[in-house]
Structure 1
Amino acid sequence: MKGHYKNILCVLSDSHRQDDTVAQALHIAKAHQASLTIMLSLEALPPNASMVMESFSYVDSQQTMEKQAELWLKEQAESWSENYKVSTAVTVGHPLIDVVRYVVKNNIDLVIKRAEESFLDKLFGSLDMQLFRKCPCPLWIINHKPRSQYKNVVAALDLNYHYPSHEVSIRRDLNRDILRHASQIALLEFAQLHIVHVFDAVPENIARDGFITVDNDRMETDLAKIHAEREKELEKLLNELAEELDDNVWEYLQPKNHIVHGYPRREIAATTTSLDTDIIVMGTVSRLGVPGYIMGDTAEETIHQLKCAVVGVKPRGFETPISLD
């Protein structure tokens, strides 16, 4: 079942305050009985470093940095491995490229990373956001103060299927995968599963700007129809999930559904906050069916507003735009 991880990679960007990050990765790996690799991925020295040091010193410094990083990681891994075996890897170069290539080469099915804290990172495009866009496997970003156990898990679904037929099937599959990932996390954490879908009627959205006049009665009727449509689609998904699980497991899971009318870029995060969510599972690619297409505005804006851990799931058939050579 999708959402049960076998081969996990935990990415560290530096050597500072990483015990909580690794502890959370160990917790996840143990819950899934998965293999775990801790990668320290460092930026290479800038090319202009050679301007202030001799060429041989620059090369020596690059090699020394990698050797020292390997020694530090090996030493740390001895303590991290006391209760659960971990492997290690060090890369010095371009973290995004190095991580993606490692994921593909080693059949990684989950990447775990601590959220970056810098405002400038968020403003100009952090490694986190780049991985959400381009990492081919699910990405689990833990928040700065990880909780030892999750209590509330949210699956954020897009149940709007008013798209070309070739795209609808991909959207349905993505919703199924999001629901499976969220269900596995909820079951292994003994947490409550919440399903959130936010819909916005286009005429109402235009009316807010005052460009057209909309009949309120007609709008209410349309909203009721949309709500009923989305409830029906969600019921289909849940019936499929129930068939995959044992009866006693499904009885224990008992997800709570939240179909919310509002502006998705605002209400997904607001609903997640109101539910005291520990982790949200969501899709992170907008134009489905387009290999390697960048993350959509709604997903990106939502992630920036969230204060909980995030698991980003790609649609089936997604191809990373990162060169693997």
Structure 2
Amino acid sequence: MKRFKNILVGVDLADKEQIVANEMSSATSTAIENGLWLAKHNNAQLVFFTALEIPHYLRFVAEERGDVESSLSGEYEERLNTLVQRAKREGIKASYVLTVGKSWVELIRQVVKHERDIVIVGTRQRGITANALFGSTGMKLLRKCPCAVWVSKPRAEQEATSILVADDLSPVSGLALELGISMAELRGTQLHVLHVLELGMGRPSWDSFEIRTRARAEAAKQLEAQLARVNTSGLRCPARIEIVVDAADSAIIREIAENHVGLLVMATVARGGIDGIITGNTAERLLPQIPCSVLAVKPHDFKCPIAVD
């Protein structure tokens, strides 16, 4: 997997109560480890990125005392430099960027301005949605960032035994399949490939056994053609392909639970030329529910809604 040459890792150095946390969260630590791992296997450039967001309650202090921002920046730079030095000791070309602003906005600006190939971030767990991929930064990146986005959920990756590719047979899903195969090869895990024949939305009702059988056969043929175009010799065991008739979001969530999936690889599709919108209702329902890490691949014509100065 040599596709990623310019990797950006979002480093969250704050927590709910402190602007500079005593320790990095497990989600951020996992994102950093994933960035180091991916950079090694791709011989890629690695950039650690942090955006300093000064809370509202400190802004009046910052306006009166000019040393607040510089003091916080100094602490952030020290930690970022520690990460850079570690990466360099591991033979990785690394650097860091520190800026001021909203994390997700500044991450996307970095992607657009410097042509980053992939953004890797962790996800914060919040309240009753602690089992879901529901961090604000992660969700906004998945929706609006023009490059691939890998949102890491630590516990899910540690307990995982397999990787799932949700394949809708679109052109960009071929890239998602290729990346899923590469990830499964490098991690030595089982690869599952899921295609969903969705109900409703102008499609046949699938009530007829004959219609379902014909649709399954056609989908299987296309999936086999996709797999034939990719080298799968490095997989520990053959990919398991499943074609189901269901709503896409329900089928994907069920597949994740039944097969102990730690990473979902999925393609996102720009909707009707609207900047920063992916896949429509299915994705908008699915993303907040995903209980594992996700690697989202964007099409080349994805329109980013963030302007770069």
Q: What band does the TM-score fall into relative to the shorter chain?
A: 0.7 to 0.9
Q: 1:196 aligns with which of 189, 194, 197?
A: 194
Q: 1:261 — aligned with what?
A: 245
Aligned AA (1:68): E
1:261 is displaced (CA, Å) by: 1.8
- Tell me, in whole angstroms, the C-alpha distance in 2 between the residues paired with 1:315 and 1:67: 38
Q: 2:103 — aligned with what?
A: 95
Q: Could you give the per-residue CA deviations for residues 214-233 of structure 1, whole angstroms, max 9, x where no partner exists? A: xxxx9542x54245324423
Q: 1:317 — aligned with what?
A: 301
Aligned AA (2:173): N
| Rg comparison, structure with higher value | 1
- Tell me, in whole angstroms, the C-alpha distance in 2 between the residues paired with 1:236 and 1:295: 21
Aligned AA (2:73): E
Aligned AA (2:211): K
- Tell me, in whole angstroms, the C-alpha distance in 1 between the residues paired with 2:290 and 2:59: 41
Please list, as runs of the form range in 1=range in 2, the aligned pairs for 1:1-325 lying within 5 A after superposition. 4-14=3-13, 15=21, 16-17=24-25, 18-46=28-56, 49-51=58-60, 53=61, 55-57=63-65, 59-85=66-92, 86-119=94-127, 126-145=136-155, 147=157, 151-159=161-169, 172-202=170-200, 220-221=207-208, 224-245=210-231, 249=233, 254-285=238-269, 287=271, 289-294=273-278, 296-325=280-309
1:109 is displaced (CA, Å) by: 0.7
Q: RMSD of the TM alignment (CA)? A: 3.3
1:20 is displaced (CA, Å) by: 3.7
Retained in 2: the 8 A contact 1:197–1:268?
no
Retained in 1: the 8 A contact 2:161–2:259?
no
Retained in 2: the 8 A contact 1:150–1:189?
no
Q: 1:201 to 1:66 in 2, by over 3 A?
A: same
Q: 1:211 — aligned with what?
A: none
1:56 is displaced (CA, Å) by: 4.1
When the two structures are superposed, what TM-score results if normalisation uses the length of structure 1? 0.78
Q: Secondary structure at the match of 1:174?
A: helix
* Count of residues in correspondence between the two structures: 295
Aligned AA (2:300): R
Aligned AA (2:121): K
Q: Secondary structure at the match of 1:249?
A: coil
Unmatched runs of 5 consecutive residues or more in structure 2:
14-20
Q: Secondary structure at the match of 1:322?
A: coil
Q: 1:74 to 1:35 in 2, by over 3 A?
A: same
Retained in 1: the 8 A contact 2:198–2:248?
yes
- Tell me, in whole angstroms, the C-alpha distance in 1 between the residues paired with 2:275 and 2:101: 25
Retained in 2: the 8 A contact 1:114–1:143?
yes
Q: Could you give the per-residue CA deviations for residues 173-196 of structure 1, whole angstroms, max 9, x where no partner exists? A: 122122122122122223222111
Q: 1:300 to 1:81 in 2, by over 3 A?
A: farther
1:28 is displaced (CA, Å) by: 2.3
- Tell me, in whole angstroms, the C-alpha distance in 1 between the residues paired with 2:164 and 2:181: 9
- Tell me, in whole angstroms, the C-alpha distance in 2 between the residues paired with 1:278 and 1:54: 42
Retained in 2: the 8 A contact 1:6–1:35?
yes
Identical aligned pairs, as a percentage? Answer: 27
1:60 is displaced (CA, Å) by: 2.8
Q: 1:7 to 1:255 in 2, by over 3 A?
A: same
1:19 is displaced (CA, Å) by: 3.5
Q: Secondary structure at the match of 1:89?
A: strand
Retained in 2: the 8 A contact 1:291–1:317?
no
Aligned AA (2:197): F
The structure in which a higher percent of residues are helix is: 1
Aligned AA (1:269): I
When the two structures are superposed, what TM-score results if normalisation uses the length of structure 2? 0.81
Q: 1:32 to 1:228 in 2, by over 3 A?
A: farther
- Tell me, in whole angstroms, the C-alpha distance in 2 between the residues paired with 1:71 and 1:257: 47
- Tell me, in whole angstroms, the C-alpha distance in 1 between the residues paired with 2:222 and 2:303: 28
Retained in 2: the 8 A contact 1:151–1:278?
yes
- Tell me, in whole angstroms, the C-alpha distance in 2 between the residues paired with 1:198 and 1:204: 15
- Tell me, in whole angstroms, the C-alpha distance in 2 between the residues paired with 1:112 and 1:124: 15
